[in-house]
Structure 1
Amino acid sequence: MTEVSIVHSFFLIFAGAAVVASLALYTRQPMIIAYIALGVLLGPSALSLIDEPKLMDEMSHIGIIFLLFLLGLDMQPSHLLNMLKKASWVALLSSAIFAALGYLVSFLCGYSQIESLIIGVAMMFSSTIVCIKLLPTTVLHHKHTGELVVGLLLLQDLIAIAVLLVLYSMSGNDHAGIMNYLKPLIGLPLLICASFLFVKYILLKLITRFDRFHEYIFLVSIGWCLSMAVLAETAGLSAEMGAFIAGVSLATSPISQYIATHLKPLRDFFLILFFFSIGASFNLDLLGAVILPALILAVGAMLIKPVIFRYLLKGMKEDSNTAWEVGFRLGQVSEFSLLIAYLAANIGLLGQEASHVIQATAILSFALSTYVVILNYPTPIAISDKLRRD
């Protein structure tokens, strides 16, 4: 019965995605928005044709893992390390500013102090999946703009992990005391060192010996990506960070671009599930109550984040055009914000309405930011042929 349900769900998702993608292309709209809209339409709060959004959400998480793995394959370790050092203070300061603005807007909209604080924290981060999806893999990843975007996203991910650890401890899941906080600090450098050593002395030797077997390269790549994702979670980090480290550790190898090319279809399969699950998890009955604060927060993020990033990046001696572009590419709320909302609601720090404010803000900011980027900067899904870059 379960198998039939999953097959039926996949039929509705991917057949529906094919239809809405066709309509989106004909009307020159971004397909990301179409997938989210399909999720809302087929989800429990509308037609209720998909009644397992949690299962879809868990499966779609694999798409984010593959996305970060492929991103890592395009990043040279020396360039990345240099960028992380330069951008750390920008990430910290910008996150504090966005949290303060989110808190102020939420409090003025009538939410409690603790709810306003959680909403403010959710506003700190930009979406890794949207930003990377809109980065041309053959252009910006090898240029300064791409390195800036990725460096800031990774630093935000570290801050988000710290926030999630605090929430986990408040939920009573912290049985290890202080070790729960020390584990990721110890685990991160160990994971990085272990990954580079394993790649150098074992993985590359295996790939070199059996590189004529394409199926083997495909299998080893997926196994390496998911193994690092699981190890990262065990070390108290995120699975996405583990997958990114797995990619970076292979980036200096000539095989990296071959792997990147052959894993893209698999990545896109799961990313469709990711955007669908965002729409399917939203409760339309609360739309009237949350639309105003969510709209203010989403529009505020789109307008204020580019200004803040532009000002801070100018302090790093970045030119004005690059600073503006980075700011607009980071002008949305993160998928980490959705996880923060989920955990805070389970603990009792957020009411259902406040939790849906964060969800609605994320969906609106994904849509608004996508439109701004595809209309003004090079992306793989640009409406204009002039701006379309793969």
Structure 2
Amino acid sequence: MPHADSLILTLVGGFVLAFVFGMLANRLKLSPLVGYLVAGVAVGPYTGGFVADTELAPQLAEIGVILLMFGVGLHFSPRDLMQVRKVAVPGALVQIAVATVLGWALGRVVLGLGDVEALLMGFALSVASTVVLLRALEERKQVKGEVGRIAVGWLIVEDMVIVIALVMLPMIIVPAGTQTDLAALGMGIGWTLLKVGLFVAGMLVVGGKLIPWLLVRIAHTRSRELFTLGVLAIALGIAWLAYYLFHSFALGAFLAGLVMNASPLGHNAAERSLPLRDAFAVLFFVSVGMLFDPMILVRQPWAVLGVLGIVIIGKSLAALAIARVFRLDRSTGLTVAASLAQIGEFSFILAALGVSLGAMSRETHDLILAAALLSISLNPFVFLFTDRMGGRPRPPVSGSPEAKQAAIDHKAEMAGPNPATA
């Protein structure tokens, strides 16, 4: 039976090379995501040697998208967002607008793209990677500090904007040459927003009671396998329902994670699903790398530098300006700016959606992927630069009130909860 082993070969090639290149990237002090993307390039159709199944890989990537969005929902905390809402909400919206306009200007004036494609490229360049940001803050031990709450809250707002965009873009973008009926388009958008609102309300009200009750019943079986299977079944089932209604897996997966996060067993659900989420997240980045043509770096080096400049310089300056408006201290502003100076998984999703809708060319798609690969690789160096500019706060002087308070906080943190009851 021909091609009966394509799934196995794709999984083996993807995981093995992702591990090898991920370890190499880690040794080079780069994000492992760079290694995963390079692994995808290595097994893709644009390089020699073994080529993975390019039709199967996007389906595996779709599962990765579902589990990534499920993870975002599991870690979404409305309470944390409300604490920094005065900075995170307007900051994220203004930064998205600035980056989108810069991308549109580059695409329209320099690259000669149409308005829709240029705007879509700018929008894809405006969204930072939650995975990269969290790992960078964890390495710096800043996740639970004020700067961590602001940066994560900022990214949560961006993620919510992307979820809405993934639902609305298929309706807004029409094929070239098609006559647009504004009245019908307005009615369609309104009807879709109403359905989304009802779906979200139903998930939060009905699902908020049904899913925790169901998780408790599954937990009473005392079977780890059944609990893990139940968590994945709920996540994938709700994602498929959202896809059936709105052609968006992301919305359903995000809501499933959000509802589980609010349940008493939300922490257990996150822990049980983590290994599979990590595995399919790796396959997601590998599959994205398979779609990337590295020759874009040779064909259009100045265009690559242009989009990379928007990601690293344009977004950082916008974040610094916003931080100054809200009177954040120098260290916090520089750290937030460095955190946002990269793009990742949601940019890939938007670019792929643009190609599938016929609104984006493969060349523009490759420019976005090149900017992602380079910005993720350069992000540690951006942090080093901002640290020299005053991004990392200086330790308090010994004997000062700040030092005494830091010592008290450190003792409380070291004490933590009782291990016997944790």
Q: State the TM-score bracket (shorter-chain normalisation).
A: 0.7 to 0.9
Q: How far off its partner does 1:130 sit?
A: 3.1
| Corresponding position: 1:171 with 2:174 | yes
SS in 1 for 2:138: coil
SS in 2 for 1:230: helix
Letter in 2 for 1:110: L
C-alpha change, 1:139 and 1:272, in structure 2 (3 Å) is same
| Corresponding position: 1:228 with 2:225 | no
| Corresponding position: 1:8 with 2:9 | yes
Deviations 1:354-390 (A, max 9, x none): 332223223322322355459989xxxxxxxxxxxxx
Q: How far off its partner does 1:100 sit?
A: 1.4
CA distance in 2: counterparts of 1:70 and 1:166, whole angstroms: 23
C-alpha change, 1:262 and 1:208, in structure 2 (3 Å) is closer
Q: How do residues 75-224 of structure 1 correspond to structure 2 at under 5 angstroms?
A: 75-84=76-85, 87-114=88-115, 115-134=117-136, 136=138, 142-164=144-166, 165-171=168-174, 177-178=188-189, 179-200=191-212, 202-207=213-218, 209-210=220-221, 212-224=222-234
Q: TM-score, normalised by structure 2?
A: 0.76
CA distance in 1: counterparts of 2:235 and 2:143, whole angstroms: 19
State the match for 1:384 in structure 2.
none
CA distance in 2: counterparts of 1:60 and 1:118, whole angstroms: 21
State the match for 2:255 in structure 1.
245
Q: How far off its partner does 1:273 sit?
A: 0.9
Deviations 1:303-356 (A, max 9, x none): 232232233244445443233222222222343333443444455444443332
Q: How far off its partner does 1:300 sit?
A: 3.1
CA distance in 2: counterparts of 1:151 and 1:82, whole angstroms: 9
C-alpha change, 1:253 and 1:112, in structure 2 (3 Å) is closer
Letter in 2 for 1:153: L
Q: From the CA coordinates, give the structure whose radius of gyration is larger.
A: 2
Q: Which has the higher contact order (CA 8 A, sep 6+)?
A: 1
Aligned residues: 375
Which range moved further: 43-52 or 150-159? 150-159
State the match for 1:41 in structure 2.
42
Contact 1:39 1:277 in 2 (8 A): yes
Contact 2:124 2:351 in 1 (8 A): yes
State the match for 1:282 in structure 2.
292
Give % identity: 26
CA distance in 1: counterparts of 2:162 and 2:77, whole angstroms: 24
Which range moved further: 343-352 or 360-369? 343-352
Q: How far off its partner does 1:54 sit?
A: 4.2
Contact 1:102 1:123 in 2 (8 A): yes
C-alpha change, 1:169 and 1:71, in structure 2 (3 Å) is closer
Which range moved further: 11-20 or 237-246? 237-246
C-alpha change, 1:73 and 1:157, in structure 2 (3 Å) is closer
| Corresponding position: 1:60 with 2:25 | no
Which range moved further: 290-299 or 335-344? 335-344
C-alpha change, 1:346 and 1:334, in structure 2 (3 Å) is same
Aligned-pair RMSD on alpha carbons? 3.4
CA distance in 1: counterparts of 2:140 and 2:253, whole angstroms: 20
Say which of 357, 367, 371 aligns to 1:361. Answer: 371
Say which of 250, 257, 262 aligns to 2:272. Answer: 262
Letter in 2 for 1:265: P
Contact 2:128 2:341 in 1 (8 A): yes
State the match for 1:386 in structure 2.
none
C-alpha change, 1:214 and 1:116, in structure 2 (3 Å) is closer
SS in 2 for 1:136: helix
CA distance in 2: counterparts of 1:19 and 1:129, whole angstroms: 20
C-alpha change, 1:84 and 1:68, in structure 2 (3 Å) is farther
Q: How far off its partner does 1:65 sit?
A: 3.1
CA distance in 2: counterparts of 1:340 and 1:216, whole angstroms: 34
Q: How far off its partner does 1:167 sit?
A: 4.2
Contact 1:195 1:245 in 2 (8 A): no
Contact 2:304 2:367 in 1 (8 A): yes
State the match for 1:303 in structure 2.
313
Q: How far off its partner does 1:44 sit?
A: 0.1
C-alpha change, 1:76 and 1:337, in structure 2 (3 Å) is closer
C-alpha change, 1:295 and 1:78, in structure 2 (3 Å) is same
CA distance in 2: counterparts of 1:262 and 1:134, whole angstroms: 24
Contact 1:64 1:129 in 2 (8 A): no
Letter in 1 for 2:308: A
- Unpaired stretches in structure 2, ≥5 consecutive residues: 179-183, 388-422
CA distance in 2: counterparts of 1:22 and 1:87, whole angstroms: 34
C-alpha change, 1:344 and 1:269, in structure 2 (3 Å) is closer
CA distance in 1: counterparts of 2:90 and 2:313, whole angstroms: 21
Q: How far off its partner does 1:101 sit?
A: 1.3
Which range moved further: 36-45 or 160-169? 160-169
- Unpaired stretches in structure 1, ≥5 consecutive residues: 378-390
CA distance in 2: counterparts of 1:53 and 1:132, whole angstroms: 30
